[in-house]
Structure 1
Amino acid sequence: MPLILFNKPYQVMCQFSAQDDRETLADYLDIPDIYPAGRLDADSEGLMLLTDDGELQHAISHPTRKQPKVYLVQVEGTPDAGSLERLRNPLDLGDFVTQKSEVRHVQEPGWLWPRNPPIRERKNHPTSWLTIQISEGKNRQVRRMTAAVGLPTLRLVRIAIGPFALATDPLLPGEWKTVDPQEFRRQT
């Protein structure tokens, strides 16, 4: 029963079934009977966990288990103390209110790969980097959170899930590796 760490590239669909002219997980992972434990939208990139163990998949992805997920987010604009505080506290997004999150204004990490294609750059609009840690992960949640405080997301990279992080388990986009599922169970 493998646990796969996979660095999903930008614009890859989080499914194995064929998609019209779009790359899917099947283009990168030829491992039978594995399924994603959580998803990333096509515009997002970064760490995914996949397994053939339904119980493990549930332990990783179910909201009641509260596995922390950390995202590196490039936003348009420069966050001030007020916008960072709003992101940290429950935020009403209309159809739900987020839980508290951990948010930091950071420098772009030196280990981050360039995105292909690169984000559009606008000379009159500065960009900034944040790390945002959440445990719920609703559809497009981080993008909606940053937009709600006036900082639209330009690039979104999930860099950690539970005990696994791209900084300590370096994988380039499209690369994957198998880890012992007990490593997850021991650390959660």
Structure 2
Amino acid sequence: MTRLIRLNKPFGVLSQFTDRGTEGSPRPTLSDYVPVPGVYPAGRLDRDSEGLLLLTDNGRLQARIAQPGRKMPKTYLAQVEGTPTPEAIAQLQSGVTLKDGPARATSARAIPEPDWLWPRDPPIRVRKSIPDTWVEITLTEGRNRQVRRMTAAIGHPTLRLIRTQIGPWTLTDLAQGQWDDLDPKL
């Protein structure tokens, strides 16, 4: 029986079960949150990003979720510095040029701060003279730090990044650091 787990990964947690880093003290890993043997992440979520991470014990399912050629949509909430203009938001959809080539979101829109959002620990840096804005971005590719690089390309660096959806699976009603089992059928 295939197992599929969704985890609301906290900020600062590595998307792996062991810390192979060279830093002095071990960093938090998935093993601190998901005590289930034999499952592995289907894709990655950077250490400084939060939100939905799927884990499975089925290699084929893992590939269907994670492989860029599958174009499974992933939705993110990015808290960005400043207030992007409608033209800047539209540029995320029409495409921006990154060092590794053009990138575009399938959708992007400014949204109000979500009322269900948990506080981040540690909190983002706040500058009283510069506002921040929440932008919802959906991608079908998953290049390294792509959302952060795209928002920087339009002049609005990402301060906080939360993945809320992968394909049909969402973060809805899952507290930070918590996990549960999902139906693995696509």
Q: Into which bin does the TM-score normalised by the smaller protein fall?
A: over 0.9
8 A Cα contact 2:105 2:138, kept in partner: no
SS at match of 2:102: coil
Instruction: Pick the aligned partner of 2:177 from 174, 177, 183.
Output: 174
TM-score by length of 1: 0.93
Please, which runs of 5 or more residues in structure 1 have no aligned partner?
none
1:129-161 deviation line (CA, Å, top 9, x unaligned): 000000101100000000001000000000000
Partner of 2:117: 112
Partner of 1:140: 145
Please, which runs of 5 or more residues in structure 2 have no aligned partner?
none
Alignment coverage as a number of residue pairs: 181
User: For the residues of structure 1 that align with 2:164 and 2:46, how far apart are their CA atoms?
Assistant: 15
User: For the residues of structure 2 that align with 1:152 and 1:131, how far apart are their CA atoms?
Assistant: 14
Partner of 2:85: 80
User: For the residues of structure 2 that align with 1:90 and 1:124, how far apart are their CA atoms?
Assistant: 29
Aligned pair 1:41/2:42, yes or no? no
Partner of 1:122: 127
Task: Report how far residue 27 of structure 1 moved.
Answer: 0.7
C-alpha RMSD over aligned residues: 1.0
Partner of 1:5: 6
User: For the residues of structure 1 that align with 2:64 and 2:86, how far apart are their CA atoms?
Assistant: 35
Aligned pair 1:95/2:100, yes or no? yes
SS at match of 2:150: helix
Which residue identity is paired with 2:126?
Answer: E
Task: Report how far residue 98 of structure 1 moved.
Answer: 1.1
User: For the residues of structure 2 that align with 1:98 and 1:74, how far apart are their CA atoms?
Assistant: 19
Task: Report how far residue 90 of structure 1 moved.
Answer: 2.2
User: For the residues of structure 1 that align with 2:37 and 2:30, how far apart are their CA atoms?
Assistant: 12
User: For the residues of structure 2 that align with 1:176 and 1:25, how far apart are their CA atoms?
Assistant: 11
1:17-37 deviation line (CA, Å, top 9, x unaligned): 135421000111111111100
User: For the residues of structure 2 that align with 1:147 and 1:178, how far apart are their CA atoms?
Assistant: 35
Task: Report how far residue 100 of structure 1 moved.
Answer: 4.1
TM-score by length of 2: 0.94
SS at match of 2:98: coil
SS at match of 2:101: coil
Percent of aligned pairs with the same residue?
Answer: 52
1:60-93 deviation line (CA, Å, top 9, x unaligned): 1111111100000100000102211111112210
